[in-house]
Amino acid sequence: MTDKITGACHCKSIKYTITGPIKASANCHCNSCKKMTGAAFATIAIVADESLEITRGEENLSSYMVSDNLTKSFCRTCGTPIFNVHKKFPGNRMLPVGTLDVPEVAMPAINVYCESMLPWIKEIAELKSFDKEFSR
Q: Which residues of the shown chain bind Zn ion in the complex (CB under 5 A)? A: 9, 11, 13, 28, 30, 33, 75, 77-78
| Nearest CB to Zn ion, comparing residues 13 and 111 | 13
> Least distance from C-beta 93 to Zn ion, angstroms?
14
Looking at the Cβ atoms of 88 and 136, the one nearer to Zn ion is: 88
Between 8 and 18, CB nearer to Zn ion = 8
Least distance (Å) between residue 2 CB and Zn ion: 28
Spatial contact of 43 and 33, defined as CB atoms under 8 Å apart: no
**Closest approach of Zn ion to the CB of residue 71, in Å:** 13
Query: Of 35, 131, 43, 53, nearest to 95 (Cα)?
Result: 43
Find residue 25's DSSP bridge partners.
45
